[in-house]
């Protein structure tokens, strides 16, 4: 059995003392930052990128994955206890989670969310194990032209499902692609947009951009809006009542199924999963009127869905090298910094890293449940620390982190510059996620594009002559046309209205 062999290989790697420790540290630090109000997983991962750089690749990725789950878990905690979602995917959790907390059921909401997430994470991991190999084998048949088209599809799909204006999001992708070009041209050695700054000749470092765009900009926005605290809620018993458990588990199962499917889609990921799961529960419920007033299903389903989706969104990243959302773009960036080019080769060339990371995902999920439920009291305390203490502290750690990347203050200045840029993006309603996707895929896409054109002797028809590439391009075109259709545009806008 290949599957079992792979799993045991992965578990062997993940269960080594060192990797267990990094997974644990990742989960803890991720939760620590993620639990801070107003800071979501993307900002958390961006800010914590530097601490993983000096680790060996496998350990670094295991730790990053741990940070991701931890941040998400922390986000649910803040949503439930203080009604401040860190990011879009936990907005839904606020709706009923905070109401449950106000009804004195905070503990139950937290444990349902944690256990539901764990179940979903387990299922998600199994799905990755099953699908990773066939998908990888398929991807190995891809030529440069096919890859280029696949990336185009990935980028467009990510944009379509991202919120806000499609046009602006596409422009953001191009801006990201443009920033990705900075540095030495691989083929000719020419310096592009380096302004004679030696530090830029290897390209703009990914980490300062991510830290500035997501970390700093988020802190500034939080500083602007006066953080009104509705007062953290006391957590009493963690145990859900029998009735609550009975209502929660079918919702968890449905949420997991929906989340797993939506997570694989480019641009899908946790947010879409959580919203769809909530809507589905409300439709299926015999008592839709209790939704928004503390319905157990309204916490269980979206929490399961966002965790399942968080898990399965690793599939396109690990097998094809295509990140489907901002978090995955950060992961790709981290892999590239570690010298690993994400794509189908990872599984064949570095099976220990690949399967080790997958096995550690499950372990990370398990750790979160075991560690965090008992530690909930500590996280609640942390929630009461005022933002005026936290903001300077976070800034300080960002600065030291950025410096530690290459012991250079230039990186710290870059963080400041991209912080300003990120702030402008926020003010102008431009999404940072498409920019990041473009930035990460840019260099590769140019490489594939140039190689494809070279192989075809400059004939752009190559993109439509190869069947795989043609299919992918048609899918891209269909997506774009669908977006322009008035009826779909309207439905989409309504969906985002509800979210906002």
Partner 1 sequence: MSRLLSKDFLSGVMFIAFGLTALWFGRHLAMGTTVRMGPGYVPHMLAYIMMALGGIIVVVALLTPGEITEAPKWKPITMVTIGIVCFALLFESAGLIPALIVLILIASLGGDEFKLTEVLLNMVVLAILCIIVFKVGLSMNISVIRGVW
Q: Quick check: 216 and 432 in contact, CB under 8 A? A: no
Options 130, 137, 429, 496; binder of partner 1; rule CB under 8 A: 429
Q: Quick check: 244 and 260 in contact, CB under 8 A? A: no
CB closer to partner 1 out of 249 and 387? 387
Residue 165 near partner 1 by CB under 8 A: yes
Q: How far apart are CA 85 and CA 323, in angstroms?
A: 24
**Alpha helices (H) in 83-180, listed in sequence order:** 91-100, 106-139, 144-161, 166-180
Residue 185 near partner 1 by CB under 8 A: yes
Options 4, 196, 226, 286; binder of partner 1; rule CB under 8 A: 226
- Output the six-digit token pair for 139: 């991807």
Options 286, 457, 487, 500; binder of partner 1; rule CB under 8 A: 457
Residue 424 near partner 1 by CB under 8 A: yes
Options 11, 126, 336, 416; binder of partner 1; rule CB under 8 A: 416
Options 142, 423, 435, 448; binder of partner 1; rule CB under 8 A: 423
Longest dimension (CA), the chain: 70
Residue 388 near partner 1 by CB under 8 A: yes
Map residues 434-453 to x or -, x wherever contact with partner 1 holds by CB under 8 A.
------------x--xx--x
Q: Which residue has the tokens 């220990």?
A: 352
Options 2, 141, 195, 242; binder of partner 1; rule CB under 8 A: 195
DSSP conformation letters of 178-246 = HHHT-EE-TTT--EES-TT-GGGGG---HHHHHIIIIIIHHHHHHHHS------PPPP---PPPHHHHH
CB 456, min distance to partner 1, A: 8
Burial profile 345-366: b = 16 or more Cβ within 10 angstroms, e = fewer:
ebbeeeeebbbbbbbbbbbbbe
Q: Of 360, 256, 357, 355, nearest to 310 (Cα)?
A: 256
Options 8, 409, 464, 477; binder of partner 1; rule CB under 8 A: 409
Stretch that binds partner 1, among 29-37, 114-122, 189-197, 305-313 (CB under 8 A): 189-197
CB closer to partner 1 out of 24 and 398? 398
Q: Of 35, 66, 30, nearest to 377 (Cα)?
A: 35
CB 392, min distance to partner 1, A: 4
Residue 413 near partner 1 by CB under 8 A: yes
Options 239, 293, 392, 485; binder of partner 1; rule CB under 8 A: 392
Q: Which residue has the tokens 């199924």?
A: 257
Q: Of 427, 436, 418, nearest to 169 (Cα)?
A: 436
CB closer to partner 1 out of 39 and 127? 39
Residue 168 near partner 1 by CB under 8 A: yes
Q: How far apart are CA 335 and CA 277, in angstroms?
A: 31
CB 500, min distance to partner 1, A: 11
Options 1, 188, 484, 487; binder of partner 1; rule CB under 8 A: 188
Do the bridges between strand 191-192 and strand 183-184 make them parallel or antiparallel, or are there none, so unpaired?
Answer: antiparallel
CB 411, min distance to partner 1, A: 8
Q: Of 221, 102, 224, 183, nearest to 442 (Cα)?
A: 183
Residue 275 near partner 1 by CB under 8 A: no
Residue 403 near partner 1 by CB under 8 A: yes
Rg, the chain, Cα only: 22
CB closer to partner 1 out of 133 and 446? 446
Interface contacts to partner 1, rule CB under 8 A: 165, 167-168, 170-171, 174-175, 177-178, 181, 185, 187-188, 190, 192-193, 195, 216, 219-220, 223-224, 226, 387-389, 391-393, 395-396, 398-400, 403-404, 407, 409-410, 412-413, 415-416, 419-420, 423-424, 427-430, 446, 449-450, 453-454, 457-460
């Amino acid at each position: 059995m290949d599957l079992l062999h792979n799993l045991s290989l992965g578990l062997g790697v993940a269960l080594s003392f060192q990797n267990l420790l990094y997974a644990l540290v990742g989960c803890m630090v991720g939760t620590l930052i993620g639990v801070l109000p107003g800071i979501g997983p993307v900002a958390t991962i961006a800010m914590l990128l530097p601490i993983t750089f000096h680790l060996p690749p496998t350990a670094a990725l295991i730790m990053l994955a741990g940070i991701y789950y931890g941040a998400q878990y922390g986000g649910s905690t803040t949503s439930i206890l203080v009604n401040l979602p860190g990011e879009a995917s936990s907005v839904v959790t606020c709706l009923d989670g905070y109401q449950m907390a106000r009804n004195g059921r905070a503990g139950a909401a937290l444990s349902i969310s944690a256990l539901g997430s764990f179940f979903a994470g387990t299922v998600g991991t199994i799905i990755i194990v099953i699908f990773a190999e066939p998908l990888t084998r398929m991807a190995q048949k891809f030529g440069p032209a096919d890859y280029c088209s696949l990336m185009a599809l990935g980028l467009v799909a990510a944009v379509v499902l991202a919120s806000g204006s499609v046009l602006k999001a596409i422009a953001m992708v191009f801006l990201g692609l443009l920033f990705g070009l900075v540095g030495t041209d691989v083929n000719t050695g020419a310096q592009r947009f380096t302004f004679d700054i030696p530090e830029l000749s290897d390209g703009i470092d990914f980490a300062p951009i991510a830290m500035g765009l997501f970390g700093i900009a988020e802190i500034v926005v939080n500083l602007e809006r006066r953080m009104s605290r509705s007062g953290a809620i006391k957590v009493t018993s963690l145990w859900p009542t029998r009735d609550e458990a009975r209502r929660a588990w079918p919702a968890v199962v449905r949420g997991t199924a929906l989340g797993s499917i939506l997570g694989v889609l480019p641009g899908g990921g946790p947010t879409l999963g959580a919203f769809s799961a909530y809507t589905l529960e409300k439709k299926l419920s015999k008592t839709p009127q209790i939704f928004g007033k503390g319905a157990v299903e309204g916490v269980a389903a979206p929490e399961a869905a966002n965790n399942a989706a968080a898990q399965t969104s690793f599939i396109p990243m690990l097998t094809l090298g295509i990140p489907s959302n901002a978090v995955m773009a950060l992961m790709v960036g981290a892999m590239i910094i570690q010298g690993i080019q994400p794509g189908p080769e990872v599984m064949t060339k570095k099976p220990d890293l690949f399967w080790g990371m997958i096995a550690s995902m499950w372990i990370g999920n398990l750790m979160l449940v075991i560690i965090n439920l008992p530690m909930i009291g500590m996280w609640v305390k942390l929630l009461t620390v005022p933002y005026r203490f936290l903001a300077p502290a976070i800034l300080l750690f960002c600065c030291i982190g950025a410096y530690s990347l290459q012991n250079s203050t230039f990186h710290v200045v870059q963080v400041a510059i991209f912080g300003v840029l990120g702030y402008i993006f926020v003010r102008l309603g431009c999404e940072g996620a498409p920019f990041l996707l473009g930035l990460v895929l840019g260099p590769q896409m140019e490489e594939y594009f140039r190689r494809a054109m070279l192989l075809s002797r400059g004939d752009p028809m190559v993109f439509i002559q190869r069947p795989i590439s043609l299919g992918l391009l048609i899918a891209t075109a269909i997506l774009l046309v669908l977006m322009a259709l008035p009826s779909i545009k309207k439905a989409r806008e309504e969906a985002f209205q509800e979210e906002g």
